[in-house]
């Protein structure tokens, strides 16, 4: 078995002490440029790589952020991670990304324990929902917990859009376009925090316009904002006794499923059904017809989450809610000026 090169090996070849070599490789202490070049050249030649885990354990501080993601049905979290990585790199921070189940507290707890053992200074939950016990465990370990791309009703900071307003503004947009029989598709409206808030916004917009909602306008599907939920929703609405004129799809993927499902039954978007999606990912502009969307700035969410972690004078006990603005972008799946 090939043995890993050590600082002691470099020191023996260079004729220096291990302590001197360590200081040179870590950029500490005083030494000549010529000596530094010789030590680094020897390190390259014998294949020495710094043991980052050991260095972190030896250091009184750590510059590593933990990110807990989940196998999402949509691509929104990819944009959040891009924002996190950009801001982390800009500030000289390292990032560890681990996967968990979104609402499974046992799975989340195991992942959090791994993060604690790796001595991260903050954990970002990407739409993963830890309970208060897990949140408190992180705080007790002096690790700052934060939700990203999802609000929370627990004692935890978050960076997110306002999901109530997303549901409300999207529904008002459809009403203002002249649609009144509006379906709601793809989210769990009883237990999922995001889904509940978007549904409540949807309900308020209907009530303000004196539109009496029908429970048959709601199709949760698998409740995971998935493409498959959109496909199944078409089958549900086509077989039912009630007709709808528009749908608020709770993700771009659910919207795409609706569009393709309508094509499967020989119907056309937006003539037979208008659709607005939520997220504003690349799915919206790559599809034909292009999808009208509530567009969230996920990249900014990731950047702001990192900025919050490194905010001067931040305390472990802080609980801050940072809301990122969103916009509605009219494209081809809704008619303009229907009124």
The lowest-confidence range among 51-65, 191-205, 289-303 is: 51-65
pLDDT in tens, 36-83: 899 889 988 888 877 665 555 555 457 999 999 999 877 889 999 999
What pLDDT sits at residue 1? 45
Q: What number is the average pLDDT over the span 246-260?
A: 97
Q: Closest Cα partner for 274 from 184, 206, 233, 334?
A: 334
pLDDT in tens, 324-334: 999 999 999 99
Confidence band of 120 (pLDDT split at 50, 70, 90)? very high
Q: Please write down the long-range contacts of 86-90, taking CB distance under 8 Å and 24 or more positions apart.
A: 86/299, 86/302, 86/303, 87/302, 87/303, 87/306, 87/307, 88/306
Confidence band of 92 (pLDDT split at 50, 70, 90)? very high
Q: What number is the average pLDDT over the span 258-268?
A: 97
Helix and strand element counts for the chain (H, E): 13, 12
Give the residue extent of every domain in the chain.
7-50, 64-160+299-325, 163-295
Specify the pTM: 0.84
Of residues 174 and 61, the one with the higher pLDDT is 174
Q: Which fold has domain 7-50?
A: 434 Repressor (Amino-terminal Domain) (1.10.260)
Q: How far is CA 274 from CA 77, 178, 289, 335, in A?
A: 26, 11, 11, 7
What pLDDT sits at residue 57? 52
Q: What number is the average pLDDT over the span 139-165?
A: 97
Q: Is the pLDDT of residue 319 over 60?
A: yes
What pLDDT sits at residue 241? 81
Residue bearing tokens 């702001």: 304
CATH ID of 64-160+299-325, from 3.40.50.970, 3.40.47.10, 3.30.950.10, 3.40.50.2300: 3.40.50.2300
Same fold flag, 7-50 and 64-160+299-325: no
Q: Could you tell me the two tokens for 33?
A: 């440029």
**Where are the strands (E) in 201-291, listed by range?**
218-219, 246-249, 274-279
Q: Give 97: exposed, middle or buried? Use CB within 10 Å, 0-12, 13-18, 19+.
A: middle
Q: Closest Cα partner for 138 from 66, 59, 58?
A: 66
Q: Architecture of domain 163-295 in CATH?
A: 3-Layer(aba) Sandwich (3.40)
Q: Give 62: exposed, middle or buried? Use CB within 10 Å, 0-12, 13-18, 19+.
A: middle
Tell me the CB-side half-sphere exposure of residue 8, using CA atoms within 13 A. 2
């Amino acid at each position: 078995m090939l043995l890993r090169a050590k600082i002691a090996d470099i020191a023996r070849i260079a004729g220096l002490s291990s302590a001197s070599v360590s200081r040179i490789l870590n950029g500490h202490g005083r030494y000549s440029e010529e000596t530094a070049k010789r030590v680094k050249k020897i390190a390259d030649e014998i294949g020495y790589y710094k043991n980052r885990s050991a260095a972190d354990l030896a250091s009184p501080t750590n510059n590593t952020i933990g990110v807990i993601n989940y196998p999402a049905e949509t691509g929104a979290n990819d944009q959040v991670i891009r924002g996190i990585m950009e801001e982390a790199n800009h500030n000289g921070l390292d990032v560890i990304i681990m996967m968990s189940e979104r609402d499974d507290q046992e799975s989340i707890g195991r992942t959090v324990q791994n993060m604690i053992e790796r001595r991260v200074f903050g954990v970002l939950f990407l739409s993963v929902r830890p309970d208060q016990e897990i949140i408190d465990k992180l705080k007790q370990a002096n690790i700052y917990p934060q939700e990203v791309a999802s609000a929370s009703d627990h004692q935890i900071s978050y960076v997110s859009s306002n999901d109530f307003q997303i549901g409300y503004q999207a529904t008002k947009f459809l009403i203002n376009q002249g649609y009144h029989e509006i379906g709601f598709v793809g989210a769990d409206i009883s237990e999922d925090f995001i889904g509940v808030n978007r549904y409540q916004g949807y309900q308020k917009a209907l009530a303000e316009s004196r539109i009496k909602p029908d429970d048959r306008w709601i199709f949760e599907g698998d409740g995971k904002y998935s493409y498959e939920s959109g496909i199944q929703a078409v089958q549900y609405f086509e077989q039912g006794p009630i007709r709808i004129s528009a749908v608020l799809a709770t993700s771009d993927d659910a919207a795409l499923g609706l569009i393709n499902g309508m094509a499967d039954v020989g119907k056309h978007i937006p003539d037979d059904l208008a659709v607005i999606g939520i997220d504003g990912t690349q799915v919206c502009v790559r599809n034909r017809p292009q999808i009208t969307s509530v567009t969230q700035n996920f990249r900014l969410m990731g950047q702001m989450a990192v900025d919050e972690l490194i905010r001067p004078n931040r305390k472990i006990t802080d609980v801050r809610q940072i809301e990122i603005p969103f916009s509605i972008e009219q494209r081809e799946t809704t008619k303009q000026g229907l009124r």
